[in-house]
Amino acid sequence: MIPWAIISAVNGDLKLGISLLILYAIIIIVRQILEPRIVSGHIGIHPIFTLIAMYTGFKLSGLIGLFIGPIILIILQNVFETMIDNGIVKTILDRK
């Protein structure tokens, strides 16, 4: 949309160029707010943890990590839920 806005503004349609830039800004803002909630809603994890996993994965391994981070989070969540359901954590905590 940015090239379209620039070309429109250069060709004399300044109103269309500005409108496209405003629309682009709205799309980016809405996407940044809603995307983590949508992703976390589908995988069953709180949005803040999804964001943390996406950020950590991105910092550790780049673009691939952006997708691998939430997957690792899901795996860890399932492992810990299984451990809690089986009582493994309880038996470890009860030992003295």
Please tell me the predicted confidence (pLDDT) of residue 10. Answer: 94
Please tell me the predicted confidence (pLDDT) of residue 92. Answer: 66
Taking the CB of residue 20, how many other CB atoms lie within 10 A of it? 20
For residues 2 and 27, the answer to whether their CB atoms sit within 8 Å is: no
Please tell me the predicted confidence (pLDDT) of residue 29. Answer: 85
Let me know if 13 is exposed, middle or buried by CB neighbors in 10 A (0-12, 13-18, 19+). middle
Structure tokens at 7: 């070309």
Domain ranges of the chain: 1-43, 44-96
Let me know if 47 is exposed, middle or buried by CB neighbors in 10 A (0-12, 13-18, 19+). middle
Average pLDDT, the chain: 83
How confident is the model over 36-62, as pLDDT tens digits? 777 666 667 777 888 888 889 989 998
Interacting residues of 34 by C-beta distance below 8 A, sequence separation 6+ = none
What angle (nearest 5°) sits at the alpha carbon of residue 57, between those of residues 1 and 24? 15
